[in-house]
Amino acid sequence: MDFLTLFSVYVAVVLTCIVLVCKYSGQQQTPLGRLFNTVTQVASPWIPQCIQNISNRTVHRLFHQRNNFFIYLHLILEAAVYAEYSYEVFQFCLEMETTMVNVCVPYVLLAIKSCIFYLCCRRDPGTLTKKNHAAQLKVYQYDEQLFQEGSMCPTCQFVKPARSKHCRVCNRCVQRFDHHCIWVNNCIGAQNTRYFLLYLLSVCAMAGDIVVLTGDMLFHVVVRSGLMHARYIDEQGQEQPSGLLFIIQHLFLTFPRIVFMLGFLVFVFFLLAGYSLFHCYLAVVNQTSNEWFKRKGHSCQHCHPGSGHHSHTSYNPMRGFYNKGILKNLKEVFWPLSPTRKKDN
């Protein structure tokens, strides 16, 4: 397989992963998600109806019903990365005189991440039931903007506690609802937000560490082989010095699986690093992503009794209704509030 064919396959797979993760990571308003929707709408007149029906049923089953498909996909990708790391990179790193401690760090991070991932998948996010409903009504005050006192959930037939939301995928109301994450097949709510945040950070650490070790290995390969000072004969028979493109092509053809793994992990690291920073920010200001998307791009409306009109006030997330300071906000994420330990407003 020549370089261009291999590289084309590589780019196609990476772009597919980007679209898949961006569109179905639990958020609906990413630029790639909107682009995917636009392309689907434009192409739909040329796609047979039977194929569209099958596709719609498959998408609904995968992304709008609880299932373990993405947990299995997550584990398969993780196994593929660690198999390649163990089979090739581990030994190369030892030959490059990387210490045993450094090359074993990814396995320690994998063990930590696996424990957190299990808790994130299995931990109840804070499901509202008849037994705990009355108590949960007392945990948060209503801000009368996003959460109005007396609002009913038409499915559960409950008065909605402040900051709760009904998840259509799980078919349940969740306390301090953040979003439904298909990658853990669970809602993210009051009782498992801390595990979700630690899960994101641990995956970033895993990806980043393997990227550094693999990048260091390839750098030493280039230095030791003398590729930076090598020369080659072009199609016209002229001798040319090797440049960056030549070195990348050489590495891609010599270590295709390693370079593919490296590119995939770089993408995962930067994507999840941005996503992790977003959720760290939400934790610091005591918001959920559900609340952030609801407030984004519009003003909050307050109805003044007797005024007969609405006044529009811009929303400042750093002085949000539930924000009580960085330390107390983080404490609320890692030690969720209960009716006996309510937040002071």
Helix axes 244-254, 193-225, angle to 10 degrees: 110
In order along its 345 residues, the chain shows pLDDT tens digits of 555 566 677 667 666 666 655 555 544 455 545 555 666 666 667 767 677 667 667 766 776 788 898 899 899 999 999 999 999 999 889 888 889 999 999 999 999 999 999 999 999 999 999 999 999 999 999 988 889 999 999 999 989 999 999 999 999 999 999 999 989 999 999 999 999 999 999 999 999 999 999 999 999 888 887 777 766 666 677 677 777 777 887 788 888 889 889 988 998 899 899 999 999 999 999 999 999 988 874 444 444 444 444 444 444 555 578 999 999 999 999 999 877 655 554
Taking a C-beta distance cutoff of 8 angstroms, is the pair 255, 88 a contact? yes
Can you tell me which residue has the tokens 């108590």?
135
Taking a C-beta distance cutoff of 8 angstroms, is the pair 288, 329 a contact? no
Beta bridge partners of 341: 338
Using CA atoms, how far apart are residues 59 and 67, in angstroms rounded to an integer?
12
115 catalytic? Reply is no
Taking a C-beta distance cutoff of 8 angstroms, is the pair 187, 170 a contact? yes
Taking a C-beta distance cutoff of 8 angstroms, is the pair 339, 136 a contact? yes
Using CA atoms, how far apart are residues 137 and 132, in angstroms rounded to an integer?
9
Using CA atoms, how far apart are residues 232 and 46, in angstroms rounded to an integer?
48
Catalytic residue (choose from 121, 181, 187, 204):
181
Instruction: Give the contacts of 129 (CB within 8 A, at least 6 positions apart).
Output: none
Using CA atoms, how far apart are residues 203 and 224, in angstroms rounded to an integer?
32
CB-neighbour burial class of residue 81 (10 A; exposed 0-12, middle 13-18, buried 19+): buried
Domain residue spans in the chain? 1-65, 68-272
Using CA atoms, how far apart are residues 146 and 195, in angstroms rounded to an integer?
26
- H or E stretch at 281: helix 256-285
- Which residue in 292, 100, 112 sits closest to 204, CA to CA? 112
